[in-house]
Amino acid sequence: MSDALNIAIAGLGTVGTGTLQLLDQQAGLLVERAGLPLRVVAVADLDTGRDRGVALDNIACFDDALKMVAEADAHVVVELIGGSDGIAREVCEAAMARGRHVVTANKALLAHHGMELAGSAEQAGVALAYEAAVAGGIPIIKALREGLAGNRIARITGILNGTCNYILSAMRDTGKEFDEVLAEAQALGYAEADPSFDVDGVDAAHKLALLTAVAYGCAVNFDGIHMEGIRHITSRDIACAEELGYRIKLLGITRRLEDGVEQRVHPCLIPAGAPLAHVEGVLNAVAVEGDFVGPTMFEGAGAGALPTASAVIADIVDIARGLRIPAFGRPVAELEEAPSAPMENHCGAYYLRLSVADRPGVIADISAILRDGDISMESMLQHGRAETSSGAVSVVMTTHETREAAMAQALAKIAALDSVEEAPCMIRMEAV
């Protein structure tokens, strides 16, 4: 390596610009931490002429990222383009083929193609680093792979998407419905124009797939994740959860079970006193349980220019110092092909919200269905007639622990009752 670590950055969006800012403003500190200067020699973007508030003097500018990889004298290529395929994947593959280390913030790319890219990195003898891909500025990949290396991980529970966390927090604070709060989040820049990846749980699932692989030494298995979003959550659910002593959060949860690895992303009722219940707004948090360390929790900014850039730079400093750890903690050939634990085998408590006709015998019919499914009811709330032409009443029930398969069968029977006016809303309850 030369007297400096030469860096080429593909993508000058929010994170790319933040990375340039951090490298400039912390240059002296980074020399101390890395052992040599970190020097940006090239950038690539479709519009390198736009003023982003960062100087590009003495930096080669390309409008073609692949051309930059081919021509720039770089030791490290930082991929900040995004997307699970296309140019982002091509840039990473081309960089490794030329013997360049790769740093990326691209969770979608790694969730879908991480195994292939990790294998390519090993063959090329280069690093594939992605601290910035999971939970923004929170150093959770390094914590799992290095700081907690002496532990068997029992469970990871995370608030992994700031957009969903903001929406659910705002719904609780304001009493507004999902659509209205989503529009406000879009206006503030917390949600994309097409928010599907965020609110349908896909973004959180991408991150969970990577956490699972590192935690358990298994192959990345995005397709094995049970995934639900938050579109069906109403202000009534938020208020009822509060009344019951809970808060609603979108969680990513992974556990190693006897029948395989469980990976699930969905809304949960969690106790209002739990640490994760107090993670508000756009913040992320990851709770990790190790057999020797016990419960630990990491909280911080899950997105944004400078927090994410902080994670990008952490990977670059490791590379400058010569730290080489396989992408998922062990070589690809040693990663286990662990089966996915079937979601129908999940056992837990449930919250149910039903809109039912206000007439005698309705609750008895529902209770009979739950009884026949061996589902024990723990509590019930009823708040009178809803403002509908039918005069339906909203009934909320919580159950004791039961199997997912039994709950699914019971819900199908409840939905078929002529006294039930809307599809039941079911939210799982978690003792985090």
Q: What is the pLDDT of residues 399-416, one digit of tens each?
A: 999 999 999 999 999 999
Interval 368-378 mean pLDDT: 94
pLDDT at 335 over 60: yes
pLDDT at 388 over 60: no
| Residue 385: per-residue pLDDT | 59
Query: Could you read off the pLDDT of 117-170 as tens digits, one per residue?
Result: 999 999 999 999 999 999 999 999 999 999 999 999 999 999 999 999 999 999
Interval 339-347 mean pLDDT: 95
Interval 187-195 mean pLDDT: 90
**Which backbone phi and psi does 298 adopt, to 5 degrees?**
-120, 125
Residues contacting 291, CB < 8 A, separation 6+:
151, 152, 154
pLDDT at 173 over 60: yes
Q: How confident is the model at residue 386 (pLDDT cuts 50, 70, 90)?
A: low
Biggest distance spanned by C-alpha atoms of the chain: 82
In angstroms, what CA-CA distances link 130 with 32, 155, 340? 22, 21, 24
Q: Which of 68-77, 273-282, 310-319, 355-364 has the lowest mean pLDDT?
A: 355-364
Interval 252-280 mean pLDDT: 96
Nearest one of 13, 214, 253 to 130, comparing CA atoms: 214
Domains of the chain: 5-133 (3.40.50.720), 140-301 (3.30.360.10), 343-429 (3.30.70.260)
| Residue 133: per-residue pLDDT | 97
| Residue 49: per-residue pLDDT | 79
Interval 289-306 mean pLDDT: 95
| Residue 427: per-residue pLDDT | 98
Selected residue with higher pLDDT from 382 and 201: 201
Q: Is 249 an annotated catalytic residue?
A: no
What is the chain's mean pLDDT, rounded? 94
Nearest one of 407, 333, 417 to 370, comparing CA atoms: 407
3 state SS of 341: coil
Interval 169-192 mean pLDDT: 94
Q: How confident is the model at residue 220 (pLDDT cuts 50, 70, 90)?
A: very high
Burial of 186 (C-beta count, 10 Å sphere; 0-12/13-18/19+): middle
| Residue 55: per-residue pLDDT | 84
Selected residue with higher pLDDT from 422 and 108: 108
Selected residue with higher pLDDT from 432 and 395: 395
**Which backbone phi and psi does 72 adopt, to 5 degrees?**
-75, 145
pLDDT at 387 over 80: no
> Please, what is the angle between helix 162-174 and helix 178-188, to 10°?
120
Instruction: For residues 336 and 358, give the distance between their C-alpha atoms in angstroms, rounded to a whole number.
Output: 54
Instruction: For residues 23 and 32, give the distance between their C-alpha atoms in angstroms, rounded to a whole number.
Output: 13
Strand spans (E) along 37-186? 38-44, 60-62, 76-79, 101-104, 128-129, 153-159
pLDDT at 111 over 70: yes
| Residue 401: per-residue pLDDT | 97
Residues above pLDDT 90, as percent of the chain: 88
Q: Three-state SS string across 221-250, please? A: CHHHCEECCCCCCCHHHHHHHHHHCEEEEE
Give me the catalytic one of 107, 207, 249, 413.
207
Interval 330-349 mean pLDDT: 95
Nearest one of 76, 41, 72, 34 to 56, comparing CA atoms: 41
| Residue 390: per-residue pLDDT | 60
| Residue 382: per-residue pLDDT | 82
